[in-house]
């Protein structure tokens, strides 16, 4: 994959984005904000983790660079994957146009946050790892 639209298309299904983020959160471990319990279960209907002790719900974006963002998961994952895999220094304006998003500012904030992620960030590594696995699967199927 070389072009941004390939990455965007790859993450086009929300289920894929949710599955990746869910795996990342489970791997990192979820701690309840309310009671500090570490045992949670997944509420598929709410797309959130729920604490087994106090029933407090934690979203997939909580504790990530995506927290407090209204941008879709597809935007975040496709831009993280694209910037990580290609190393291209693409402008936020170009990404805004590629995404078809009306406003520039949210895209600029997203790009700044992503560029500020360390290479050792588990989310960045997991997204790139998942992408490589899917590319290998595509090659086997062709």
Query: In tens digits, what is the pLDDT along the chain, a chain of 142 residues?
Result: 578 998 899 888 989 899 989 988 998 899 999 999 999 999 999 999 999 999 999 999 998 999 999 999 999 999 999 998 888 889 999 999 999 999 999 999 999 999 998 888 888 888 888 877 766 555 455 4
CB-based burial label for 79 (10 Å; 0-12, 13-18, 19+) = buried
Residue ranges per structural domain of the chain:
4-28+63-137
Which pLDDT belongs to residue 97? 96
pLDDT tens column, 128-141: 888 777 665 554 55
Long-range residue pairs from 85-93, CB within 8 A, at least 24 positions apart, any chain: 85/1, 85/7, 85/128, 85/131, 86/2, 90/4
Which pLDDT belongs to residue 134? 67
Which pLDDT belongs to residue 141? 55
Which pLDDT belongs to residue 135? 60
pLDDT tens column, 116-130: 988 888 888 888 888
H-helix or E-strand spanning residue 59: strand 57-59
């Amino acid at each position: 994959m070389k072009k941004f639209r390939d990455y965007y298309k790859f993450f086009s299904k929300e289920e894929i984005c949710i599955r990746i983020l869910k795996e990342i959160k489970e791997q990192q471990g979820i701690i309840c904000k309310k009671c500090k319990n570490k045992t949670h279960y997944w509420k598929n209907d709410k797309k959130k983790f729920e604490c087994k002790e106090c029933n407090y719900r934690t979203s997939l974006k909580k504790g990530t660079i995506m927290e407090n963002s209204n941008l879709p998961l597809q935007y975040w994952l496709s831009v993280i994957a694209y910037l990580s895999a290609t190393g291209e220094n693409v402008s936020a304006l170009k990404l805004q146009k590629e995404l078809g998003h009306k406003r520039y500012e949210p895209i600029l904030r997203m790009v700044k946050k992503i560029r500020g992620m360390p290479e050792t960030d588990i989310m960045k590594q997991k997204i790139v790892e998942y992408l490589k696995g899917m590319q290998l699967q595509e090659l086997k199927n062709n």
